[in-house]
Amino acid sequence: MNLKIALLPGDGIGPEVSAQAVKCLQAVADTFGHQFKFTEAIVGAKAIDKTGNPLPDATLQLCKDSDAVLFGAIGDPKYDNDPNAKIRPEQGLLKLRKELGLFCNIRPVKVFPSLIDKSPLKKKNIRGTDFVIYRELIGGIYFGEKNLSKDGTVASDLCTYSEAEISRIAHLAFKEAKTRKKKLTLVDKANVLESSRLWRKVVSKIGESYPEITLEFLFIDNAAMQLILNPSQFDVILTGNMFGDILSDEGSAIGGSIGLLPSASVGENNALFEPIHGSYPLAKDKDIANPIASILSAAMLLDHFNLDEESRAVVIAVLKSMKNEIVTPDLDKNSKYGTNYVGDFISGNIKESDEHLTINRENIW
């Protein structure tokens, strides 16, 4: 298969971790006889510094012209600490998601057996955790009208959702549940928010055409608690933009490190793959950032193009690194292995073998 991949390493640790994902995709291409052509472009704080724009037109155009986007991370403390900044790195990612129509953000959360001891939670509570968050990505409070009063003392962000926006992601979430444990939990705040009540109405109606799926509803506050108390109860979680953002960071703590969680953002015509973590500026250029979230995002990219065996090869190589304790210091504070070494180990282990074929996808990722 020939794939044109736009590579947007972004800020902070983004370049280091996405370089490891590229190594792995290159290993897949070499092993399985594919051609992946990477073209790099700037985004985020780096792009602001160079052009004044967090998403330059050339970057957007490249993404539109590519089969997929591999994204690193975005954000820089110099903007985080300046509430008056008019231009912010994050605007680049938000605009990119919107322009590419990436309405569905998929974030799998799984506890890896060999890392179960790394979790801050009790083993007995988290064993068997395997759920996926379907987060609406281009609507809601993130994209509603924003206002700041002239005197700067009152601000608002509007949360709007339409039936069409809810139903397109709901269908994808129900379809995903059909291939899994057949349970879908809609997370909202329908006891307070009108927009959440619309989500309930639309999702309930759609649920009638998926009779084999058990549909449950949970308020966000309760969901945040349940995720910590009993995460293995979940299968597919469907939710809006903001709640999905918060729950996915919370979900990452279950497995022991935010450096493990990948994501895919898909729309009608485009797809983008990125770790759920941020730019982690404190770790930048220290060779300590965990590349696994980025590498597993590359595995999701392969999955997206139905390259199942290739995706499995990546996941198996990741599992091997964990079993052999070839992990970065976030997972083992005494680890002597850095971002690059872990990336080399994983990419070096991606090779065609019977192992890839005999392992059932459900058991590994």
Catalytic (active-site) positions = 142, 189, 221, 245, 249
Q: How crowded is residue 50: how many other Cβ atoms within 10 Å of its Cβ?
A: 10
Q: Are 365 and 322 in contact (CB under 8 A)?
A: no
Min dist. Cβ of residue 74 to ligand IPM (A): 5
From the list 36-44, 88-96, 252-260, 322-330, the region that binds ligand IPM by CB under 6 A is: 88-96
In whole angstroms, give the CA distance from residue 297 to residue 261.
8
Q: According to CB under 6 A, which one of 60, 62, 141, 276 is a site residue for ligand IPM?
A: 276
From the list 87-95, 155-163, 282-290, 339-347, the region that binds ligand IPM by CB under 6 A is: 87-95
From the list 66-74, 140-148, 180-188, 244-252, the region that binds Mg ion by CB under 5 A is: 244-252
Residue 74 in contact with ligand IPM, rule: CB under 6 A: yes
Q: Which does 283 bind (CB under 5 to 8 A by kind): ligand IPM, Mg ion, none?
A: none
Phi, psi of 85, rounded to the nearest 5 degrees: -60, 130
Task: Choose between 196 and 241: whose C-beta lies nearer to ligand IPM.
Answer: 241
**Residues paired with 7 in a beta bridge:** 40, 70
Helix (H) / strand (E) element for 273: namely strand 271-275
Residue 93 in contact with ligand IPM, rule: CB under 6 A: yes
Min dist. Cβ of residue 7 to ligand IPM (A): 18
Residue 245 in contact with Mg ion, rule: CB under 5 A: yes
Task: Choose between 110 and 356: whose C-beta lies nearer to ligand IPM.
Answer: 110
Edge-to-edge strands of the sheet including 2-10? 35-40, 2-10, 68-73, 271-275, 262-266, 104-110, 130-136, 236-239, 183-188, 214-219
Q: Which does 322 bind (CB under 5 to 8 A by kind): ligand IPM, Mg ion, none?
A: none
Burial of 164 (0-12, 13-18, 19+ CB in 10 A): exposed
In whole angstroms, give the CA distance from residue 268 to residue 313.
27
Q: Find the binding residues for ligand IPM in span 227-266 (CB under 6 A).
A: 245
Task: Return the amino acid letter for 53.
Answer: N
Phi, psi of 272, rounded to the nearest 5 degrees: -130, 140
From the list 89-97, 160-168, 186-194, 289-297, the region that binds ligand IPM by CB under 6 A is: 89-97
Contact residues: ligand IPM, CB under 6 A:
74-75, 90, 93-94, 245, 276, 278
